[in-house]
Structure 1
Amino acid sequence: MSDKITRWAVGVFGDSSQSGRWRAVQRLGAVAVFGDSTLDLREAVIDGDEIEISAVAIFGEVNIIVAPDSRVELSGVALF
């Protein structure tokens, strides 16, 4: 898997959303600053067997939505 994030969802003082049928690359980034960022993967076409999402929220919220049968590994840190 490449180390480079090639697609971003960014919400700064507003909302960003990616949903429906779309191509989810192997490395995604999601950022929310005083806003929300949502990645809905339920109908996404995924390149390869897995994807990695790097998410950052500062006074905001990042939402990742997956299909019920998806395997998810999660790690992170929450402040405030």
Structure 2
Amino acid sequence: MPNPDLHGPGATPGSVWDLKPWWCQPWSILLTGLAIVAGSWLVLHLWWITTGVSLAIGAWWLLFLVLMPAAWRQEQDGGG
């Protein structure tokens, strides 16, 4: 059976990730973050900058991989 059209009337996606393009999926968010942290270290070799970059990436991951999906799920469940 083919996948239903997620944008059609009455269609409800199973998760927030069904609504996002390929470049905004959990795997791409994780890989991009890891590449940025690794690139920071490989280019600069300064632990204090890489630590700051890591904290910023961690906050980005928390927002987009934990808080945003939880808020979407709560909204879909009828919570407010």
Which TM-score bucket, shorter chain as reference?
A: under 0.3
Q: Which has the higher contact order (CA 8 A, sep 6+)?
A: 1
Greater C-alpha radius of gyration? 2
More strand by share: 1
More helix by share: 2
Name the TM-score, length of structure 1 as normaliser: 0.20
